[in-house]
A and B are shown apart, each in its own frame.
Chain A
Amino acid sequence: MTTFLIYLVLILGIVALVQLIRVSEISNFLNGEDGIMVTDKETNNIRYMFVAFFAAFIGFYGWLVWRFWDILLPAAASEHGKAIDTLMNLNIALITIVFVALHIVLSYFLFRYAKTKNEKATFNTHSNKLELIWTITPAVFLAGIIIFGISAWNDAMRNVPEDAINIELYARQFDWTARYAGKDNVLGKANFRMINGTNALGIINEKSINDRLSAYNEKIAELEESRKSVFPGGTNDQEILEEITLQKKHRAYIEQLQAQNNVESYSVADDDILAKVEFHIPINKPINFQIRSQDVIHSAYMPHFRAQMNAVPGMMTQFYFTPTMTTEQMRAKLGNPDFNYILLCNKICGAAHYNMQMNIVVESEEDYNKWLSEQPKFFTAEK
């Protein structure tokens, strides 16, 4: 029934439109118009409408800013973010002026130079002087923006200070893990072949390597054992042999990893700490985020700190910043006791991309150290 009604409405709508066109054609004919020439009345209406339209548009801009002022991101909570904010405000002011001015000029010209009867337009083809002016003026402004912009970028991307705290942000479908380097401030090595249910980041230390090797050895022994119960050389036997070859290949990779490492490089991982759901960072200390991904491209986006960097499988990326406001300070400033800094995923990564978040807590150094000391070390934690 609904479907029928929809078709009925559609058909009636089209019939109505056809009649509308017929009526407009007849009225054109009666008024001696050809339906091509724009009549004086139309011209007059349109030029007023254009002015009204652009005025309303600029008004809409003002209204949006006024109405939604509070949802805009608050001022940057990081050191490099201040330069970015200044540059952003300058840019927005500049482009708002250009945008409004050009629309005023456009509206004025449309209004002023709308067609009148039987007069010809002024025949001006070009003006080298004018064109030079409006090539050079934007060039000068842009030169300023380029210099300011590049220096802000280099500032944000400059070499990481040596005392920066190393934290890994590890992305996978669909969550984040933060890994702290522990006392030595060196993150343990990791490899994607070491990943399994209990070691989601594939961290390498002596224990994890040995666990892994013994798991493979056990599996291979088990498979060898099961060969005894099948007909030698038969289909089942072939399958088992293939599986053994595969397991040996996997084991060889781990043995390779083992050979590349020594006791020293194993031990740096021993004190690594993992955090989920939320992670803490201290105020006024440079934090160096080393960003990795397990599966597809993700992006670590921390809007309040003006920080963003992709997490790319197969390579490590990094972004560092120094937070300048604790969570408590920001809550007080915004008057919102529930406020939290946040880490989002900002590169399309699959069905639950929209809900891949982690809270960030910025606190004093003492509180941070206290929190960190309460966190269990990954390799000694009960699992």
Chain B
Amino acid sequence: MSGHKEPFITKYLFSYDHKMISRQFLLTGTIMAFVGMVMSLLFRLQLSSPGESFWILNFLLGDKWAPDGVLDPNMYLALVTIHGTIMVFFLLTAGLSGTFANLLIPLQIGARDMASGMLNMLSYWFFFGSSVVMIISLFVEAGPAAGGWTVYPPLSALPEAMPGSGLGMTLWLVSMSLFIVSSLLGGLNYIVTIINLRTKGMSMTRLPLSIWALFLTAILGVLSFPVLFAAALLLIFDRTFGTSFYLSDIFIAGEALDRTGGSPLLYHHLFWFLGHPEVYIILLPALGLTSEIISCNSRKPIFGYRAMIGSLLAIGFLSFIVWGHHMYISGMNPFLGDVFTFTTLLIAIPSAVKVFNYLSTLWQGKINFTPAMMFAVAMVSTFITGGVTGIILADAALDINVHDTYFVVAHFHIVMGLSAVMAMFAGVYHWFPKMWGRMLNKKLGYIHFWITFACAYGVFFPQHIQGLAGLPRRYYSYSEFPMFEGVADIAMIVTVFAVIGGLIQFLFLFNLVYSMFRGPKAPQNPWRSNTLEWTTPVEHMHGNWPGELPTVHRWAYDYSNPAHEEDFVPQIVPLKDGEVDGGGH
């Protein structure tokens, strides 16, 4: 299986090997993340100093979109839109799931590779194509899509409504269609692999929580992405073939459109039927990785393993019946507000269980502060901070006044964005030795962690206050409003933190690239972890294990088991006489 020299193309480009595909996802996701991050820095400059000239804006956007260094309002909306799209889909969906599902599923369940290497390769290349189309859309004459990442029609359906709804929007839809294909190919593969290819002894109740989380994520994706595809398809019809699924009674650009009978609310429903599970498609892998890293670095079993699985299942199920909380004031029947308030607030229960279980995993542990562990702790913190404000937004009555304000921006950036990004950093620091066989520099990791964590809160926490002042999101400028005068000071705080936090990510990028080639060689099991991936050779090989597949004898969390000498017991170690698996769980 190994030993012979593989040609460059099949080894690095069109590889069927899940470890290589995982690295491809990580690198593509990282590049997209930097694009999205730089965009956010550009519009932050405008938000803290409206109408002021910045050399960098003109340098990056040119005379058309930033004449004299002042950001054009249409370009502002385009930046906000593409930033959102890239971060939600390209970084936190494909970047996060794509990287860690590909890396961890075969390695942690004891499989030689994914069920279908071919589909897996296609999944990456569809994602790659999708990324390329999205980047190309930035260079279109009239600008990229600019109707917000939710691209509500009619704004997104009619080129008359805004310049970005022309070719830019078409490319957005093409890109998203490719993305959905990628996501479905990947998701189906993950599900099949986890169900069919677990090694001997690896029962579902011995699976690490990372695999449980990735499994449920894949199911959510497979069930919800097709609905987004339907929404996108109908939008394409409305834009191209003159149908009116979402259009009715519109007078625009001096003309009454001959389109009646459609409803923009239909799009809302279809979009958010994906849109809400999508939040958990982002969050569940984050929770899974965090569970793994916290348990390993507290040298303790994850507290309440079964409750953790149960809460993942509950969150996954509930995520399908809460989409209406994005639509309380959309004009849907107010009665539905009651229903969705109820279902949405229920999600707080399994989420609370997760937080309490994380905390009690730390309790009486022996915490090993690796950079990965610190990012996992940061994830627990952001999950708490962002999660509690969800209780306000879930409530239809309270949502009336904070809907689409900065309060919402603060909430979802912290609970979804930061939590997932922190978990992704944690995952990269933790599994980098497995991915590249080398270690990331720890000291740079610490510097990266503290500045990132401080800036993350510095950027998003003050936005709650802006929201409670009534400031709407997606405003190019608020200097026209006397009531928002005081908001400017907060905007300045946010921008300063954003710029520092943004720049420090280049340190991480440097650490990543440097360590790939020059980092110290990784030992077999650097974190003294129980899971199967650390039993494979450091040097990658097809098929993962040189000989037989390992047999699993115990759950993944026998850390500090008093029956054993060492403070960790790998899953391949047979049970001693009279020893009960899972700590008697």
| Interface residues, chain A, with chain B CB atoms under 8 Å away | 14, 17-18, 20-21, 24-25, 34-36, 38, 42-43, 46-47, 49-50, 53-54, 57, 60-61, 64-65, 68, 70-73, 83-84, 87-88, 91-92, 94-95, 98-99, 102-103, 105-106, 109-110, 113-116, 119-127, 130-131, 134-135, 138-139, 142, 145-146, 149-150, 152-157, 172-173, 191-193, 195, 202, 250, 294-297, 299, 301, 303-304, 306-310, 312-315, 317, 338-340, 342, 344-355, 357
Contacts and interface: CB of A to CB of B under 8 A. Distances in A.
Given A149-B396, A342-B481, A123 B561 contact: yes
B560 A123 contact: yes
A297 B397 contact: no
A247 to B, nearest CB: 13
Contacts of A127: 303-304, 360
Contacts of A47: 367, 369
A57 B455 CA distance: 11
B445 to A, nearest CB: 10
20 contacts: A35-B439, A38-B368, A46-B369, A68-B489, A95-B388, A98-B388, A123-B300, A123-B583, A126-B307, A138-B349, A149-B341, A152-B395, A191-B249, A296-B152, A296-B161, A301-B470, A303-B401, A306-B401, A348-B155, A350-B155
Contacts of B155: 296-297, 348-350
B584 A105 contact: no
A319 to B, nearest CB: 8
Given A68-B490, A295-B154, A142 B443 contact: no
Contact of B329 (A65, A73, A310): A310
A137 B186 CA distance: 39
B397 A153 contact: yes
Interface of B: 73-74, 77, 147-148, 152, 154-155, 158, 161-162, 247-252, 256, 260, 262-265, 298-301, 303-307, 329-331, 334, 337-338, 341-342, 345-346, 348-349, 352-353, 355-357, 359-360, 362-370, 374, 377, 380-381, 384-385, 388-389, 391-392, 395-398, 400-401, 403-405, 439, 441-444, 446, 450, 453-454, 457-458, 461-462, 465, 468-470, 472, 474-478, 480-487, 489-490, 507, 510-511, 514, 518, 520, 523, 526, 557, 559-562, 567, 582-585
B367 A357 contact: no
Contacts of B475: 353-354
What 6 A-B pairs have minimum CB-CB distances, sorted nearest first? A314-B248, A71-B486, A303-B470, A125-B583, A152-B397, A157-B334
Nearest to A345: B472
B406 to A, nearest CB: 11
A57 B158 CA distance: 45
B345 A115 contact: no
Contacts of B77: 348, 350-351, 353
A65 B465 contact: yes
B249 A192 contact: yes
Nearest to B403: A308
Contact of A119 (B337, B366, B474): B366
A60 B465 CA distance: 12
A95 B369 contact: no
A318 B481 CA distance: 25
